[in-house]
Structure 1
Amino acid sequence: MPALLDDSLDDLYENAPCGNLTLSPDGTITRVNATLLGWLGYARDELAGRRFRDLLTVGARIHYETHLAPLLVMRGEISGVAVNLRTADGSTFPGLMSSIVENGGDGRPRLVRTIVFDGRERRAYEQELLHARQAAETARRTAERESVRLRHLVSELQLSLLPSVLPTPPGLQTAAHYRMASIDQVGGDFYDLFPLRDGRWGFFLGDVSGKGVGAAAVTALARYTLRAATVYDPDPAAVLFNLNEVLYQEYRADARYCTVVFGILTPQPDGFTAVIASGGHPEPLVLRADGTAHHHRTRGRLVGVFPDSAYTNTVLTLRGGDTLLLYTDGITEARTGDAQSADHRFGIDAVARLAGTIAPADATTVIGAFTDLLDAFGDGLDDDAAVMAISVPGDRRAHAEG
């Protein structure tokens, strides 16, 4: 069988039904085919020498730099990843990207071959799915609230937005509880605790505005972005800054936002330090080993509302017998009487008083007390509530000194 001519191979590369890119190991574009140039509307010399990340939208760039690029380095390939590229006229081009690293004779990366498939049909399908979900949400509001099938679906979706098991870092105790105000509606409260490579741990607890499928979508994006941004820069203030940029870019037209507390735990000989940043969220509670309880001062704007929001870190020290408690405003906004006025809301001060009556207490005890409180609210719980506690065992200091 005769071999293909060189010009046939070049034509196949240039006019393939997919975009072809060749990148240097640092991500610089060294070659691009006519198909991708046509899709994006660039001239060839406009892309030569530019970084691939420059072709991505803000959200896609963060995802690429914090997740895809490190994954490509570790595995040598990525496949079928959805990305949003920027065209020459500033619009968005949805694509599906696959990349593979080719090594030289010395075993070091020589180049990266990347192909991009046209994802516009898929995006249209996703839009149809989104419209279908919105229609399903409308139908759900008008359906019988006693529908067992609907309640089961809502419960499963809610659980998918939370960690199935809250991990326990070495030298700590952890516990959490989530309470849905209505079994018919998906809420937007979320929390997580996850390890970093250097022995530190990241944690967050937040609350997305609104309810339903829309809130669930924002919740999923917020949880993913917080984790991904931590890999890129494990500084709490920087992490919230990145989350604010992503939410503002994606949801400013829909006025979707969230409040959140984010922190990094670092082990110390006699306990842990927690560097914390907050975006419009209730201040964390600290239950001390001496029996006192107080809110830890934090400040920060709502996340996703303003394009230029900055966030500030504060440092908290946790020693043996101390517990850090994070909670959402579903607790403070719960009704304690029949009236709707603020005087009959549980309030922040009541939360601190309750903590003071049980301090000192470990994470399990604290969450048990707040679970009992949520039970006592009954129908007075108008919004979902989430609580997460992290405590240092009381014998840690003695163990460290010994």
Structure 2
Amino acid sequence: MTADRRIPGEPRDDLLDETIEDLYENAPCGYLTTWPDGRIAKLNKTLSTWLGRDARDLVGELFIDQLTAGGRIHYETHFGPMLRLTGQLAGITVDLVAADGTRLPVFLTANVKKDEGGNPVMLRITAQDARVRREYERELLHARRHAENERARIQALATTLQRSLLPPSLVPPAGMDAVAYYHPASSDEVGGDFYDLFALSNERWGFFLGDVSGKGAAAAAVTSLTRYTLRAAAVYDDDPVAVLHNLNTVLNHEFHGSDPRFCTVIFGLLTPSKTGFDVHLAGGGHPPALLLYGDGQAMNVDLTGGQLVGILPNPRFVATRLRLSPGDTLVLYSDGLTEAQTGVGQSRYDDDGALLKFAAANSPSNAATIVDAIRTLLDGFGSGLQDDTAVLALGIPDVSA
């Protein structure tokens, strides 16, 4: 007996004679040959095993009869004509039907064998098992639907929470119009912008607009605390600066640790006068309000020097007084408007005083008209609007106009 002295793993030439036939019959894909009329001429063992039938029984049957009803329609109306026109077909997906009725998704690749005269004499078809791919696609579709449902749920939750942080309606004092607008930069996150207008007595009303740092649930908690603190403080103190100091004390006490929270805000008090309203404003780090006069002029209400609310134990806030007469409109807004990116680079909308020019171009104006104009302006920023924007306009109708 002669010992086998071959090195383990060394190629065996004695197996090469069987390689071609074995590769055809037991290939990891199905091989199929049909006549030009679509009748099966030959198929390999792999494909017949997938179909659960003897290869000899399949010879002579139409290839399209092995497909589902939908697959037959697509093959006859689209795939077959394309194959005859171009001579090849690649990457189409159909379902084969096995003998037991189960479906086998496959990727088909085919080409046409022609004679010397260019006439088709045979179709060569390769079928790749697509069951794993189909299951992956189903899981991917399921995951996508789940993600879409989850996003819709989050959006609904964010919208509901956002609405709870804003007054459902504004009830201004007699002789004044009040209009507000909130423009979210994202439907998935709760923003930190807030505003309100409320009665303190028969002769005094409070109002404010501000912006809390951050977004999401944490910012919503700060926003809620800020709104109620301002409302409560205004009941006991008729000095807007004192109201902001009260808010600063609360925020600084609650959020002074590793996750400090702060806000910018303009707080004001309204008192009726003979012809309009006296306004007492205080600002803490917030963009200046706009005042649109009835004669067509416009100006920024100067509150320069007011510091952020909630960071320092004893910040500086700035106050001013003004009078709203018939035809005048006071507009408060958050920095999502002024910091909207425009053009190239990091250019922002109000870098060169564009907002005051916009106000002057829209003055005189009533509360509803100027808010609608700002809404259109915000929509025009598109993706450049990267932060939420709140707008509150208080106007005195000019009954003589």
Q: Same fold (TM over 0.5)?
A: yes
Which residue in 2 is equivalent to 1:209? 213
Which residue in 1 is equivalent to 2:294? 289
Q: Is 1:145–1:184's contact at 8 Å kept on the other side of the alignment?
A: no
Cα offset, 1:348, TM superposition: 6.8
- Out of 247, 254, 267, the residue aligned to residue 272 of structure 2 is 267
Cα offset, 1:378, TM superposition: 1.1
Q: Does 1:245 align with 2:249?
A: yes
Cα separation, 1, equivalents of 2:395 and 2:348: 31
Q: Is 1:292–1:359's contact at 8 Å kept on the other side of the alignment?
A: yes
Which residue in 2 is equivalent to 1:255? 260
- Alpha carbons of 1:194 and 1:308: their partners in 2 closer, same or farther (altered >3 Å)? same
- Out of 174, 183, 187, the residue aligned to residue 183 of structure 1 is 187
Q: Does 1:277 align with 2:282?
A: yes
Which residue in 1 is equivalent to 2:23? none
Which residue in 1 is equivalent to 2:390? 386
Which residue in 1 is equivalent to 2:168? 164
Which residue in 2 is equivalent to 1:334? 340
Cα separation, 2, equivalents of 1:152 and 1:247: 28
Cα offset, 1:169, TM superposition: 1.5
- Out of 286, 301, 311, the residue aligned to residue 305 of structure 1 is 311
Amino acid at match of 2:203: G
Which residue in 2 is equivalent to 1:48? none
The alignment of Structure 1 onto Structure 2 pairs a total of residues equal to 254
For residue 149 of structure 1, give the secondary structure of its aligned residue in structure 2. Answer: helix
Q: How does 1:304-383 map onto structure 2 within 5 Å? A: 304-337=310-343, 339-341=344-346, 343-347=347-351, 349-383=353-387
Q: Is 1:191–1:204's contact at 8 Å kept on the other side of the alignment?
A: yes
- Alpha carbons of 1:215 and 1:390: their partners in 2 closer, same or farther (altered >3 Å)? same
- Alpha carbons of 1:175 and 1:347: their partners in 2 closer, same or farther (altered >3 Å)? farther
Cα separation, 2, equivalents of 1:158 and 1:354: 28
For residue 175 of structure 2, give the secondary structure of its aligned residue in structure 1. Answer: coil
For residue 256 of structure 2, give the secondary structure of its aligned residue in structure 1. Answer: helix
- Alpha carbons of 1:340 and 1:212: their partners in 2 closer, same or farther (altered >3 Å)? farther
Cα separation, 2, equivalents of 1:257 and 1:202: 21
Runs of 4+ in 1 over 2 A off after TM superposition: 143-146, 310-313, 343-348
| Superposition RMSD in Å | 1.8
Q: Is 2:178–2:395's contact at 8 Å kept on the other side of the alignment?
A: yes
Cα offset, 1:368, TM superposition: 0.4
Cα separation, 2, equivalents of 1:161 and 1:372: 24
Cα offset, 1:309, TM superposition: 1.5
Amino acid at match of 1:386: A
Cα separation, 2, equivalents of 1:344 and 1:281: 17
Cα offset, 1:305, TM superposition: 0.5
Q: Is 2:284–2:318's contact at 8 Å kept on the other side of the alignment?
A: no
- Out of 174, 177, 181, the residue aligned to residue 178 of structure 2 is 174
Cα offset, 1:200, TM superposition: 1.1
Q: Deviations over 1:329-387 (max 9, x none)?
A: 000111122x342x344447111111111100000000000000111111111000000
Cα offset, 1:273, TM superposition: 0.8
Cα offset, 1:225, TM superposition: 0.2
Q: Is 1:238–1:311's contact at 8 Å kept on the other side of the alignment?
A: no
Structure whose alpha-carbon radius of gyration is higher: 2
Cα offset, 1:264, TM superposition: 0.2
Q: Deviations over 1:142-173 (max 9, x none)?
A: x6698211111111000100000111210101
Which residue in 1 is equivalent to 2:102? none
- Out of 155, 158, 162, the residue aligned to residue 154 of structure 1 is 158
Q: Is 1:289–1:322's contact at 8 Å kept on the other side of the alignment?
A: yes
Cα offset, 1:199, TM superposition: 1.6
Q: Give aligned-pair identity as a percent.
A: 52
Cα separation, 1, equivalents of 2:359 and 2:242: 30
Cα separation, 2, equivalents of 1:151 and 1:165: 22
Amino acid at match of 1:301: Q
For residue 237 of structure 1, give the secondary structure of its aligned residue in structure 2. Answer: helix
For residue 173 of structure 2, give the secondary structure of its aligned residue in structure 1. Answer: coil
For residue 252 of structure 1, give the secondary structure of its aligned residue in structure 2. Answer: coil
For residue 296 of structure 2, give the secondary structure of its aligned residue in structure 1. Answer: coil
Q: Deviations over 1:88-114 (max 9, x none)?
A: xxxxxxxxxxxxxxxxxxxxxxxxxxx
